[in-house]
Structure 1
Amino acid sequence: MPSATRTRQANRGPAALITPLTAWLTRPLASFHLLLAVFGLITVFGLVMVLSASSVDSFNKAGSTYNVFGRQVLYCLAGLVLFYIAVRVPVRLMRRYSLIMLTGCLGLLVLVLTPLGATVNGAQSWFIIAGISFQPVEFAKVAFALWGAHVLVTKRGLLGQYRHLLVPVVPGALLMFALVMLQPDLGSTLTLFIVLAALLWFAGAPLRLFGVVLLGALTAGVVLTYVADYRMARLTTFLDPGSDPAGRGYHAQQAKYALADGGLFGRGLGQGWSKWQYLPNAHNDFIFAVIGEELGFVGCTLVLVLFGTTAYVGMRIAARNTDPWIRLVSATLTVWLVGQAAINVGYVVGLLPITGLPLPLISSGGSSVVTTMLVFGLLANFARHEPEAIAALRSLGPGRVGRLLRLPTPQPYRPPVKRRPTRASTPPSRPGVKTPGAPAKRRGSGEARARGARSGPGSRAQTRGGHR
């Protein structure tokens, strides 16, 4: 009896929870369902925190506490449309038209620098149409990831040579860097660099190349910092936070005060003081500080767990696929999303200089939210293209989610057929004429016929008759 009791107590331990989770992760559509769960949780959590963090600012500017929240709901609805489209579009069409999408985004990056573009917060990086604003650079990141992966996968047999590894991906990235820095927008340039580095890393670029790229990026960052005064102010404030706490270091100091005020469990949802004009951009760039103040360390940990799960499921999708293009795109998009979240959390807690990058799917904003939902849709599409998922969908049917969303059955990956080199056909040999490259057997039969022709008139007649 005591041994049975000890066995039951052991089954109630952590192993009792890990075993069912491990068994569930072995299911064919586990990646797809886990991604949908994380996507839904981050979206709902972001809407709740935007409502809480923007209520005071919305009331002061528009007379309603739901002004920013209402726009955020509309952005989420538009993002859900793109999410649904991204889940349904065949993978081969994404890859085929990736160059067209990138060309269109480059055209928009050029147009935004003309009088058609609008300046917001000192950067001419927006289009405003019928009161709706969007940044073309956000969609350019997705298009660059799709096109760059297509080029690198197409040339994967030649990536051991630097000219095939770098051209045309790196020149295309430098062109985008230049167009974005003309706006100027250092934060978006940084995320574009993350996309480029992820493409090269997962394509198998050598480590010494990353040393050169990192050195070039640091050099460019130093030059750009010295060119603009506000960038130099951000850097000096990061190195010495207490140098100007009421001026240039005000944002960083108030964010730290909000995090410290939250403690372990926070002051309560909606009970934070930082959004009462103490913390600028509370519902956008510094929403993580509001989360820490109102939900405490527990709320911040929840955000980190959600993005950590996003990193896990994204890399799981990349590892379980057989299509090299899907593998490269999945890993690159995952690194971009999680990297941007890490940068936002890093500068809010004081580990990085302030760059103005939003927290994906949690900060308020139009282009960022819509693009992030598009990326989640692409990852969900790729999750359904895992070999085990395709086999299950084709044999057992689309499942509940597939029937609800009317998703098409994905096609299995078929690697390109390697063509065997064909041997050039040789013309028929004639007596006395030496055919270059003719097989030995044919030359031998020609010599036999020549010997027969020399043996007598009858033999020559037979040989001529054979030629007829």
Structure 2
Amino acid sequence: MTSQRRGTPDFLLLFLAFSLVSFGLAMVFSASMAYSRYDSVTATMLNDPSYLAIRQAAAIALGTVAMFFCMNINYNVLKKWIGPAFIIVVILLVLVPIFGNKVNGARSWFVIAGFGLQPAEFAKLGVILYLAALISKKEEKFRSFKQGLLPALTIVAFISFLILMQPDRGSTMILVLCAAIVIIAGGANLKHIFLLGTAGAFVMLIGVSIYLIKSKLSGQNYIMDRFTSFMDPFADPLNTGYQVVQSLYAFGHGGISGAGFGQGIQKLHYLPEAHNDFIFSIIGEELGFIGSSLFILIYLAFLWRGLVIAIRSNEMFGTLAGVGIIGMIAIQALINLGGVTGSIPLTGVTLPLISYGGSSMLVTLISLGILLSISREYNKPEKETKKRA
């Protein structure tokens, strides 16, 4: 008995993905040229321009192995692993506020053998796959609030609460938006969505009002100042608007054609997290408007190709998982680009496939592996398709 032959993966998506990854690695190297790290042996600060690029290359190598592994397994087989993997993610989310390392005010990381592991990144993918499996199993029952939508919302609310405990508001927002995309694409009753959205907006308005009143009385309004500084960052260029101002300086210095690769000056300790949250600012400074525009066009082509793969899937799970994965990448990219250009408030969200970050890179490449596995099912040889029919 011979096993069914699988189709070829979508090589256009594969090519675009690795083009972006390679470009991102080059930009991480450029953005971290002034990076210094503490050497515990000599007890001194050392300038190590290749340190972050090497670590990013290691994450890419590990992520590539994971991507090819997922790509070569039928995604219906991977569906059986969602439950156990989801339980592991939940356990990590419960443990990280207690035992995790505190970075930038949030206890979101485990440090294992010198490498950081961020459970919230895996939670995004876990929620997308769990919802896709749940909705595809319930099918028409999902339109029922009690039997369909309520269980899905309960899972999303529980995971969001665990991430907020760290606290990580940016990841929570992305997770909720990704879940909303999968739920709406899964055929949820729009009346239920509208009523819940209205109620949620009302609760959020009350929460923000209470926070503003408390902040006014205590005189501590730092979070809200950071949130609103995007509207006029130059009103407080040395405090709440500092990051956005330095980012805009980078774009201004780049002009039309850019300062040239490696020739940017904002990464020289002017722009915080130049290799991470603000890597697009470095792209704008060194490659200019032309290079930035070309980069955005390639990124849009990558997202478009991923969405085409998801829509072409013959199974509901494949479509929902693909739409959720592309939605996750697109939402993060939109929030990152909007933040660094001063269009929306900064949230500390990385640019997928480009920014420095091992957990983000690993999860994104695993996600693309699943998407490529979906593409192999509709790319099956014609004879196999006819046999199944």
Q: TM-score, normalised on structure 2?
A: 0.89
The answer to whether residue 380 in structure 2 is matched with residue 390 in structure 1 is yes
Out of 57, 60, 69, the residue aligned to residue 73 of structure 1 is 57
CA contact (8 A) 2:229 2:241 kept: yes
For residues 152-180 of structure 1, what are the alpha-carbon distances to aligned partners after superposition, in whole Å with 9 as ceiling and x for unaligned? Answer: 11111212311223131110110011100
* Counterpart in the other structure of 1:326: 318
* Counterpart in the other structure of 2:21: 43
For residues 105-150 of structure 1, what are the alpha-carbon distances to aligned partners after superposition, in whole Å with 9 as ceiling and x for unaligned? Answer: 0011001122x21111111010011211110111111111111111
Deviation at 1:90, TM superposition (A): 2.3
For 1:221 and 1:347, how far apart are their aligned partners in 2? Answer: 21
User: Gaps spanning 5+ residues in structure 1: where?
Assistant: 1-27, 396-411, 415-468
CA contact (8 A) 2:7 2:377 kept: no
CA contact (8 A) 2:7 2:381 kept: no
CA contact (8 A) 1:58 1:66 kept: no
Out of 108, 126, 129, the residue aligned to residue 146 of structure 1 is 129
CA contact (8 A) 2:8 2:376 kept: no
For 1:272 and 1:313, how far apart are their aligned partners in 2? Answer: 32
- Distance change (3 Å), C-alpha of 1:327 and 1:108: same
For 1:141 and 1:393, how far apart are their aligned partners in 2? Answer: 37
- Distance change (3 Å), C-alpha of 1:132 and 1:413: farther
Out of 96, 99, 103, the residue aligned to residue 112 of structure 1 is 96
CA contact (8 A) 2:131 2:183 kept: no
Out of 281, 297, 320, the residue aligned to residue 305 of structure 1 is 297
- Distance change (3 Å), C-alpha of 1:203 and 1:347: same
For 2:83 and 2:9, how far apart are their aligned partners in 1? Answer: 28
The code of the aligned residue for 1:298 comes to I
For 1:164 and 1:391, how far apart are their aligned partners in 2? Answer: 39
* Counterpart in the other structure of 1:87: 71
- Trace 1:9-408 onto structure 2 (pairs within 5 A): 32-58=10-36, 61-114=45-98, 116-216=99-199, 218-219=201-202, 223=207, 226=212, 229-386=221-378, 389-392=379-382
For 1:303 and 1:367, how far apart are their aligned partners in 2? Answer: 23
CA contact (8 A) 2:82 2:129 kept: yes
User: Gaps spanning 5+ residues in structure 2: where?
Assistant: 1-5, 39-44, 216-220
For 1:285 and 1:199, how far apart are their aligned partners in 2? Answer: 26
Deviation at 1:103, TM superposition (A): 1.2
List 4+ stretches of structure 1 deviating above 6 A.
28-31
Deviation at 1:365, TM superposition (A): 1.0
CA contact (8 A) 1:31 1:316 kept: no
- Distance change (3 Å), C-alpha of 1:295 and 1:325: same
Greater RCO (CA < 8 Å, at least 6 residues apart)? 2
The code of the aligned residue for 1:193 comes to V
- Distance change (3 Å), C-alpha of 1:264 and 1:217: farther
For residues 176-220 of structure 1, what are the alpha-carbon distances to aligned partners after superposition, in whole Å with 9 as ceiling and x for unaligned? Answer: 111000100001001101221111111122334443444455456
Deviation at 1:334, TM superposition (A): 0.6
The code of the aligned residue for 1:41 comes to S
Q: CA RMSD in A?
A: 2.4
The code of the aligned residue for 1:141 comes to K
CA contact (8 A) 1:347 1:355 kept: yes
CA contact (8 A) 1:118 1:124 kept: yes
CA contact (8 A) 1:256 1:289 kept: yes
Deviation at 1:306, TM superposition (A): 2.3
The code of the aligned residue for 1:338 comes to A
Deviation at 1:59, TM superposition (A): 7.4
For 2:25 and 2:251, how far apart are their aligned partners in 1? Answer: 20
* Counterpart in the other structure of 2:41: none
* Counterpart in the other structure of 1:455: none
Deviation at 1:30, TM superposition (A): 8.8
Of all paired residues, the percent bearing the same amino acid is 34
